[in-house]
Structure 1
Amino acid sequence: MTKAKAEELYARLAHVRPDPKTELDYTNPYTLLVAVVLSAQATDKGVNRATGPLFQIADTPAKMLKLGEEGVADHIKTIGLWRNKAKNVVALSQNLIDQHNGEVPRERDALEALPGVGRKTANVVLMEIFGEGTIAVDTHVFRVANRTGLASGTTPAEVEDQLMRITPPKYLHGAHHWLILHGRYTCLARKPECPRCVIADLCVFQPKTRAIAPTKASAPSGAKSKKR
């Protein structure tokens, strides 16, 4: 995709969602970090259901440590990989206290050194909390970028590198949210909803899905039926 088309793509997504935000619930940098760690291979809604009660009693590293691994596990059992995630949440909380005075670090290397934190999680924190122009590539962003032709790659790192090069600076901060939300609600994995997609004419995906013709049952109430 050319830079001109990429700019038009982002302009349209921004028009639909002028103020894109993460759908993960959080109250401070620490709870966002924990929420993103828990969101791996899980839905944001599922994470929010678990973290609502959890963050009411443990919204700091010290409180999370006091709750302990078993206590954390009891709150997140509805989330995939909950045992390992509980261990990581407690370990990263200890690391934050020992090495960062209980604060979430702004440095990428320090973030990625935390248990359970990879590049995607670090990118989300750097963007959402510290306002840096980063693009976290999850499954939705990876799919939308490749499918539309905005950025192609066989790995998240390749896609991220291309997205960083082609995304106009003025759209960089919201790019992750626009792409992930577009993938979550329009450019679906199994059957993208092309007929209602605002960037369908810019997208290289073929064959595009078509609108489903209304059946008799779904025809407008005022429509006249043919006599037999």
Structure 2
Amino acid sequence: MFYVKFYTFVKKQSMKTLGKRSLSSLFKRGITFVLYLEFLLLLTPPLVFLDEDGIRYDWPITLTTVRTKPIIYPGSDLITDFELHGRSDAEVTSADQTLSFEDSTLGRRLLQTLHNLVYIGLILFITWQLRRVFSGFSINQPFANNNAARIKWIAFAVLFLVGFDMLEDVLHQLYTSSTILLSGARFDAYSFHVDSRTFMLGLLLLILAEVFRQGYAYQTDSESIL
């Protein structure tokens, strides 16, 4: 009995607080606020060039012989502070190491800026599409044909992120091997893998987009019959 009274009290207080605003309208307002905040992220790409410190990177290497420390020849004075660390994923821990270094070269800053711009662009795009989806909800048209297309674009953006992460690893490997020469060791390729959680999220969003498309078709048929 107590739980019933408590539930009734909370429900009444929530209705008083929300008034005539629907939950979808609140989501729309909230995501609009988040969208405005995300524009502040556009300030981060210039900071990559304004920061005097180098960007710290780790790259897997394999030693030619465990008895000899590798000799490192950086292609620029802006690549400094080299350190060797063990690798938890290594089969032969004495030969497989991680080379850590700071890189403040222009090429590395450009790669980092590309990373920031792509992520910021995707975040803004997804948030904008979500805002448009909730706009359809707030006018009681959740299965509008446009909503299915918007959710599909969000799914494509998420799946693009998976592919971009793999491409980014390739670009960093090419740049690292061209700017740092090793004697007594070699650079290893990262074990490329698909981010399964992000990939599954993209697939689920594609399924959701199809559900909305079918819902819109069913709604259109029902209205035509009536």
Same fold (TM over 0.5): no
**Greater relative contact order: 1 or 2 (C-alpha under 8 angstroms, separation 6 or more)?**
2
Structure number with greater Rg is 2
The structure with the largest strand share of the pair is: 2
| Structure 2 length-normalised TM | 0.22
The structure with the largest helix share of the pair is: 2
| Structure 1 length-normalised TM | 0.22
